[in-house]
Amino acid sequence: MTKLSYLHEPGVLHNLAARYELNEIYTYTGNILIAINPFQRLPHLYDTHMMEQYKGAAFGELSPHVFAVADVAYRAMINEGKSNSILVSGESGAGKTETTKMLMRYLAYLGGRSGVEGRTVEQQVLESNPVLEAFGNAKTVRNNNSSRFGKFVEIQFDKKGRISGAAIRTYLLERSRVCQISDPERNYHCFYLLCAAPAEEKEKYKLGSPSCFHYLNQSKCYELDGVDDAHEYLATRRAMDIVGISEEEQEAIFRVVAAILHLGNIEFAKGEEIDSSVIKDEQSRFHLNTTAELLKCDAKSLEDALIKRVMVTPEEVITRTLDPVAALGSRDALAKTIYSRLFDWLVEKINNSIGQDPNSKSIIGVLDIYGFESFKFNSFEQFCINFTNEKLQQHFNQHVFKMEQEEYTKEEINWSYIEFVDNQDVLDLIEKKPGGIIALLDEACMFPKSTHETFAQKLYQTFKNNKRFVKPKLSRTSFTICHYAGEVLYQADMFLDKNKDYVVAEHQALLTASTCSFVAALFPPSPEESSKSSKFSSIGSRFKLQLQSLMETLSSTEPHYIRCVKPNNVLKPAIFENLNIIQQLRCGGVLEAIRISCAGYPTRRTFYEFLNRFGVLAPEVLDGNYDDKVACQMILDKMGLKGYQIGKTKVFLRAGQMAELDARRAVVLGNAARTIQRQIRTHIARKEFIELRQAAIHLQSYLRGILARKLYNQLRREAAAVKIEKIFRGYIAKKSYLTIRSSAITLQTGLRAMKARDEFRFRKQTNAAIHMQAHVRRLIAYSYYKRLQKAAIVTQCGWRGRVARRELRKLKMAARETGALQEAKNKLEKRVEELTWRLQIEKRLRTDLEEEKAQEVAKLKDALQAMQIQVEEANAKVIKEREAARKAIEEAPPVIKETPVIIQDTEKLNSLMAEVNSLKETLLMEREAKEEARKAHADAEARNAELVKKVEESDRKVDQLQELVQRLEDKVSNTESENQVLRQQALAVSPTAKALSARPKSVIIQRTPENGNAVNGESKIVSDMTLALSNVREPESEGKPQKSLNEKQQENQDLLIKCISQDLGFSGGKPIAACMIYKCLLHWRSFEVERTSVFDRIIQTISSAVEGQDNADVLSYWLSNTSTLLLLLQRTLKATGAASLTPQRRRTASASLFGRMSQGLRASPQTAGLPFLNGRGLSRLDDLRQVEAKYPALLFKQQLTAFLEKIYGMIRDNLKKEISPLLGLCIQAPRTSRQGLVKGRSHANAVAQQALIAHWQSIVKSLNNSLKIMKANYVPPFLVCKVFTQIFSFINVQLFNSLLLRRECCSFSNGEYVKTGLAELEQWCNEATEEYAGSAWEELKHIRQAVGFLVIHQKPKKTLNEITKELCPVLSIQQLYRISTMYWDDKYGTHSVSSDVIAKMRTMMSEDSGNAVSSSFLLDDDSSIPFSVDDISKSMQQVDVADVDPPPLIRENSGFTFLLSRSE
């Protein structure tokens, strides 16, 4: 910056700002390097390539860099053999520490070599930084990693320029920070690193969070942004290993650090005596014991050292206690002393580990010292820091002046009048003896009664006339010093305490006696005390001596200066605060150096540079053959400048003269430029005129040609326009005609179509009316028939009941005759062999009970009759005696004779009355006995009815068991037949097998009344069939080649496959393809051959038709065909040997039609071997006869069954996929729709209701569509019913699970919405009829009951029994509990069930918690096939294949004449 034309503060600031925007953070001011902190990583500036660039480069040759300063110092040391020093200064956060690291890195790069035991000296020097930073750096307001001590690193070099040793000197560690910090600053890093150590170490030292310790929680800042304390702890341990600190020493170091934290948590309370103190509480006692344990000293001795002091007088030794405030001061003093000794030990250990070279002749010292500080509150630390900066500034000024002096002397110019500004007066104010501030502070510290106020008053009196010392007006303890960088206000409150450096004798004795060698080494025993041993020592004096030693070291070296600058206070990149930077430049002495340069000759240029730049001011001088020095002198004289000087090689100009020369040079250059511009502009104007004239001539010729061509084109366009108009008008007329014609045709078409639609609509309505009338009449007739049938049944039941009661009375009268009952019992024993003993016991008990009751009833009746007779006789006697007495009284003589008669009559009357009373009592007893007998009789009748029901149920079970056994026997026979077929196939290669397969088959035709052969005597059918048999066998007997027959059969098969691959449709509700396949296979006797490919081809055709098919119409078509064909095969095919293996059994009356038919077939051995049937023999289902099927036929049947199940599953799954998205919309009603239902009127409610059930109507539409497709393809109702049953089960599972999983669905309004949708499904089931819907509505029982529970009112009044038995009997306790807990009423605000019911549910669930099945409240979807082949054969109706007409392709072929009907 010394080369700037305007060398003043704005120019310097502008230059720094411009370079900072370009990330050029380094700038030279002479040989002073200014480094601006970028607050971001710039790795390209410090890599190995950059070091290689600056190695050996001349100063100023490359861009300014910290490596250039280090390289200059290193080259000066090597070349001149003189020690050098690099002084790095700046305020906190300016980047001093990072700059120091970069300097040491570069010096290690230049002079590095391997050290002892694998560790290099330079590596130990670099790795010492993390250790010193951990114990000497802390977060301040201005910097997150501020060095709170000064550091001077001496790097020693040998004769070859290699690093041979190093030493680190530290200055003024900020001890007060250990005990006192302000928010948002932090204490030293090591405390936080130890609190973030691994858990086992924290437990060993009994540490916790930093917020638990008094020395750390005075500030709320515990962590730094972007810094991991746990990671930094491990890095510090690794750095300790490198610098040579052993594991035992590391453990002792962190034990001391932990002891300091625990020491800070010891608190004191007032004791019983005056000015005494004791440990406050148990928590403080715990920390006291922990501190003693970590320092390995006695806890009682530690307590005494903190709260007691021993005073030695000539007469006696006095022990006094300290008050709580003094005890706290003693505690903090001990903590500061321990930490200071620990830091000094670390520095000494690092120096010993690195090692020093006593033979080294030259060093390079790197000074990392704190910069000038001025805070809101400034104490003793800022005073010492600013004192250091005053010393360094004096050294800096002297060095700058010295460089200027050397430059002027070298060039032999006169410089004696340059004024030099010195700050010696400020240094005298601070350090002069005996009247300096430090001397007065030491004096005040030596007097016990001195306070900070007396110290301040002493300063006021001593320096009241010093211009550098200012007393504030409103403070009695503060003072201001006018430093070179500005005024700083100091608070003298803590000066005395912070200046004292002696160790309390009790503390020294306590720690010297520690059993820990490390702690004892920190406090070595002092020499024997004498009267002079207690001489006072202070921090200020010691610091002054260290600073004096440092200045001596710097004076003996060649200094190089680096001034670090902090661009902003927010510590963020790309922010340049002008006021902040200009203040730092002033504090760093940069502007003072510029002022010194400006006081002399700040601008200097070599003769060549001066002539090259300012030769234009005197061209005649350049033209003459003058010497450079003379030429420069002539130019300066011509310009009239005064005060300049000319040296031997340079021109020295005063401040501002360079700017004046530049201004005159600009005027000369401006005049020359204007002359050149005038000539150039004349040349350009003439050239433009000539070009413009040429262009005008060319333009005129072009324009004339354009006008001629335009006239020609206009005439040509007019002629063309006339022609176009003619053609266009003709086109318009034709188009208008065609439009009118087309409109007329369209109108006629529309009118005719409308008339046709009206006619069609009328006919459709007429047919619909006729259809409705037919249905209504059928319904009326059916209803009348049903009512008549019901009335007849009721009448029959009444009459039969009456007859049964009459018969029962007769049986009671003849109860002893048990012959009929015994006969019935014998019949029952014959019918049910398995239940004989149980029925015998039950009937025997019933018989005995009836006999006993009958006898008892007879006895009671006889006794009752006898008693009634006696009562009647007694009554008659009484009446007769009364009559006799009355007559006797009437006929009696006078009164005298009456008395004995009256007495006698009275006695008799009394006896008769007593007898009557006894008879009444007997009558009552008999009546009660009769009532009891009647009740017993009723009980016996009830038990008899139960026994009758059990007998009937036993009969039904026996029938079912017989039917099941029969079915199992059939399956066993089929399995054995298949096994036999497999064995025959395995032996097919043997001659025996071939002989067996070549045997002729017998033809046996059953003659039964059903087919009309035996009863009606129609021998024609038999003769026809015999003739057909002979016709079929004639070609074989004719001896034609087998090849021609096979080719013809192959052609027929190809034609059949080609035909069935098309959609043949249905005939009379029967699938044509299935019937045609069945008739062809039966005619070709394919079921009875050992090998054939027709089955595989049919299966492949079906597979290709349904594979990957999503069309429901195609799938329904093939489902109808496969089910019909499987039914025909099930009723026709019979495994070989099945008739002989199946025993003959009598079927019950409840057997199905198929069961009766198959039983009848098995009962007639003559019908088991029907080989084939032609078209004439397939007139009815009764004509179907079983044939013995071989292995291919049985395999074909199994494959057909598999395809039937696959097609069924595809139809079901496609329908599930179609309705699945709609189910997600049906489980929860839209909120707007719910509000509309409540707030709107009736019409609005109807519209909202219609909108609400739109999704449900979509599901119903899908169901209707599927039902319509399956009906159109005549899918058996049994399969349709199964499809919709599983679909409704799927709907039930999806809706119910969604209801249980989503709380918003368990609301009252949502229950109404789902209930409305379920009503739509119920209506669909009713419309679909039970034939197709079946029990599908019952599959929705879970969701129906759950929705019903949601919409009922007064839920809190419902008991658990009512809920589980009446409202929701299907739902489990887990499901009811979840619905009850998730329910919320968004419409009326009602509550769910009571808390008692919830508690009972929870209890029942805890009892069933071991059951994994009961713990689940969700339903599972069943995707299995819900039917078997037997179910299909039982449920499907008879199929008459005779009336099915073949398609035209088959009808025209002569090989398929057997498919034609009889009439054809």
Which residues form the catalytic set? 92-93, 97, 143, 146-147, 371, 373
Give me the residues paired with residue 369 across strands.
Answer: none
3 state DSSP class of 404 = helix
3 state DSSP class of 228 = coil
- The phi, psi pair for 573, rounded to 5°, reads -75, 165
Task: Write out 1174-1195 in H/E/C secondary structure.
Answer: CHHHCCCHHHCCCEEECHHHHH
* Distance in angstroms (rounded) separating the CA atoms of residues 289 and 206: 11
Identify the CA nearest to 430 among candidates 392, 394, 481.
Answer: 481
- Cβ atoms of 63 and 69 closer than 8 Å: no
Can you read off the two tokens belonging to residue 112? 């590095």
- Residue whose tokens read 């190089």: 560
Can you read off the two tokens belonging to residue 940? 């016996």
Buried b / exposed e along 489-516 (16+ C-beta atoms within 10 A): bbbbbebbebbbbebeebbbbbbbebeb
Identify the CA nearest to 87 among candidates 171, 152, 148, 168.
Answer: 152
Identify the CA nearest to 1125 among candidates 1218, 1055, 1196, 1191.
Answer: 1196
Dihedral angle over CA of 1260, 1265, 1270, 1271, nearest 10: 90
- Residue whose tokens read 């005075």: 218
Residue type, 1370: V
Identify the CA nearest to 109 among candidates 52, 184, 186.
Answer: 52
- The phi, psi pair for 1428, rounded to 5°, reads -125, 175
* Distance in angstroms (rounded) separating the CA atoms of residues 179 and 195: 17
User: 93 labelled as ligand-binding?
Assistant: yes
Helices (runs of H) and strands (runs of E) counted in the chain: 50, 23
Identify the CA nearest to 655 among candidates 7, 4, 12, 1.
Answer: 7
Please give the angle made by the CA atoms of 42, 46 and 51, to the nearest 5 degrees: 155
Q: How far is the first Cα of the chain from the last one, in angstroms, to the nearest whole number?
A: 124
- Cβ atoms of 617 and 664 closer than 8 Å: yes
- How far out from the chain centre does Cα 56 lie? 60
- Cβ atoms of 1322 and 1267 closer than 8 Å: no
- Residue whose tokens read 């206009």: 714
* Distance in angstroms (rounded) separating the CA atoms of residues 1348 and 272: 80
**Segment 1371-1375 long-range contacts (CB within 8 Å, at least 24 positions apart):** 1371/1342, 1371/1345, 1371/1346, 1372/1414, 1372/1417, 1373/1401, 1373/1404, 1373/1405, 1373/1408, 1373/1414, 1374/1405, 1374/1414, 1374/1415, 1374/1416, 1374/1417, 1375/1300, 1375/1342, 1375/1346, 1375/1417
* Cβ contacts of 1237 within 8 Å, gap of 6 or more: 1245, 1248, 1249, 1252, 1309
**Other CB atoms within 10 Å distance of the CB of residue 1058:** 12
User: 97 labelled as ligand-binding?
Assistant: yes
Q: Is the peptide bond before 1035 cis (omega within 30 degrees of 0)?
A: no
Radius of gyration, alpha carbons of the chain: 63
Residue type, 402: K
* Cβ contacts of 125 within 8 Å, gap of 6 or more: 104, 108, 153, 155, 163, 166, 354
Can you read off the two tokens belonging to residue 577? 């605060």
Binding-site residues, in ranges, read 90-97
Binding residues for ATP are 90-97
